[in-house]
Structure 1
Amino acid sequence: MADQKNSILVVEDEEDILALLHFNLIKAGYNADCASHGEEALAAIAAKKPDLILLDLMLPGIDGLDICRRLRSHEDTNGIPIIMLTARGEESDIVRGLELGADDYVTKPFSIKVLLARIQTVLRRKTLLQQEADQTELVRGELRIHSGRSLAQVEGKTIDLTFTEFKVLEALASRPGWVFTRYQIVNAVRGEDYAVTDRAVDVQIAGLRKKLGSCSYYIETVRGVGYRFREEL
């Protein structure tokens, strides 16, 4: 049974799917609100920040990818977990959504049991991050990584990372010199058996390097294997 404090906003323009999701979320013990188009979703989020958003990509007006982009660009909403719902299931859509900061995705048609399990996993991860009391910082030259606060700084300036980008950086930096395969990176960020493509991992790394700026050289590509964090010289 879900914690009653967990509120979920369902953004879906197909009425039958919206009703199905609302019914099953309430049945599972969540507080659930609904929106059928982008503008309504943004207004609902501004009025009452949910603990998680189920976000359809294909929406009238402002689409799901644009909503994701807007939420991740504002400090007061960039920490809200987002699970994408998409009927397209194309790699480019999944990669684009993850690149914009979505935490997970489910393709239509989907199993309610699988979706509820994904929701529980994402919310559990969010709770663990919030409760994390460890104040240890990883310091690598001009790069500082604060796990408890999910904060990364380059030359004293905070850089704006998505949840996925931060967890990738944290995993690599925690074991400098260790070569991580793409599969190991996925496991470190999202847990075992999470289905995602090599291309999606490469996109995350590319975005992370860009944001690291002068410290981007710390992330090295090991051709044919994966990535590693440069050891101190």
Structure 2
Amino acid sequence: MGTSSALTENGGGKGTLLIVDTETMLCELLKFKFENEGFNVDLSHDGIAALGLNLTHYRLILVDLMKEEFTGLDFIRKLKRDPQKALIPVVLISSIDDDDVVVDALDAGADDYMAKPISSRELLARINSVLRRRRMMDSRRAANQVSFKGLVLDTASGQATIDGTPVSLSKAEFLILGMLLRNRGQFFERIEIKHETWDNVSDVSDRAVDTTISRLRKKLGDYGSQLVNRQGFGYGFVE
């Protein structure tokens, strides 16, 4: 079985959920209930097929344990290994009410677990709770991030990523990139960059600034061409 219902980006007042379960009648019942609560709902009856969808558009994925060759736990593990999809909330449902299964689900990356038979009211409450927690996490993450398209700097962790893939930057490279990203379109002379980046400014030569930025350009791949040096103005990040 494949996937039913068209993929709807940010659909409905509350967004779109994906239900991955082999039980067709349960899927249709939950779809009806959740759509009455303002969600759009897509269905898939095959875990492998579901992984081929554009999953980043979903607010949350509800997945059954599925006693098949490719289980719900396999689905979650594969999802969480993809940097672009790892933050999608997942709730696992199962006909097995067992502590070991719950632990395995949470260890795999599930945000919550619920045993069948399911109360649709309780499941909806759990889904809304997971979404509230995710909104809070997203708000905190956004406050600590400086980004341009797929290039993201997390100032809390000191981590840079491009399209979800970590990029190893030195402290100086990270600070310079953060300065230029926050002030896109503006240009800074070397002395301004030194004061923003190094403690002992007098010990840092102009050549050290140029060398650091040259290394940074190479690490940024395609984004490196947007880090420019305009004679008489200095360095800047242009869109």
* TM-score bin, normalised by smaller chain: 0.5 to 0.7
In the TM superposition, residue 68 of structure 1 has moved relative to its aligned partner by 0.4
How do residues 47-126 of structure 1 correspond to structure 2 at under 5 angstroms? Answer: 49-126=57-134
Conservation of the 8 A alpha-carbon contact between 1:35 and 1:41: yes
Amino acid at match of 1:122: V
Q: Return 5+ residue gaps in structure 2 as ranges.
A: 1-10, 146-153, 162-239
Task: Name the CA distance, whole Å, in 1 between partners of 2:91 and 2:25.
Answer: 19
Task: Name the CA distance, whole Å, in 2 between partners of 1:68 and 1:26.
Answer: 24
Amino acid at match of 1:108: K
Conservation of the 8 A alpha-carbon contact between 2:93 and 2:115: yes
- Measured against aligned partners, the alpha-carbon deviations of 1:44-96 in whole angstroms (never above 9, x if no partner) come to 245x5311000101154421000100011110010000000011011111101
Matched pairs, number = 144
Conservation of the 8 A alpha-carbon contact between 2:14 and 2:38: no
The TM-score, its normalising length taken from structure 2, stands at: 0.54
Instruction: Tell me, yes or no, if structure 1 residue 44 matches structure 2 residue 53.
Output: yes
RMSD over equivalenced CA pairs, Å: 2.9
- Measured against aligned partners, the alpha-carbon deviations of 1:75-126 in whole angstroms (never above 9, x if no partner) come to 0010000000011011111101100110001110011110000111111111
Larger Rg: 2
Secondary structure of 1:44's counterpart equals coil
How do residues 135-146 of structure 1 correspond to structure 2 at under 5 angstroms? Answer: 135=144
Amino acid at match of 2:19: V
Distance 1:42 1:150, change over 3 A: farther
Task: Name the CA distance, whole Å, in 2 between partners of 1:15 and 1:53.
Answer: 16
In the TM superposition, residue 5 of structure 1 has moved relative to its aligned partner by 4.3
Other-structure match for 2:187: none
Task: Name the CA distance, whole Å, in 1 between partners of 2:57 and 2:144.
Answer: 27
Task: Name the CA distance, whole Å, in 2 between partners of 1:7 and 1:61.
Answer: 27
How do residues 112-191 of structure 1 correspond to structure 2 at under 5 angstroms? Answer: 112-132=120-140, 134-135=143-144
Secondary structure of 1:53's counterpart equals strand
Moved over 6 A (4+): none
Task: Name the CA distance, whole Å, in 1 between partners of 2:110 and 2:22.
Answer: 19
Q: Which of 36, 40, 43 is the matching residue for 1:31?
A: 40
Other-structure match for 1:8: 17
Task: Name the CA distance, whole Å, in 1 between partners of 2:19 and 2:155.
Answer: 26
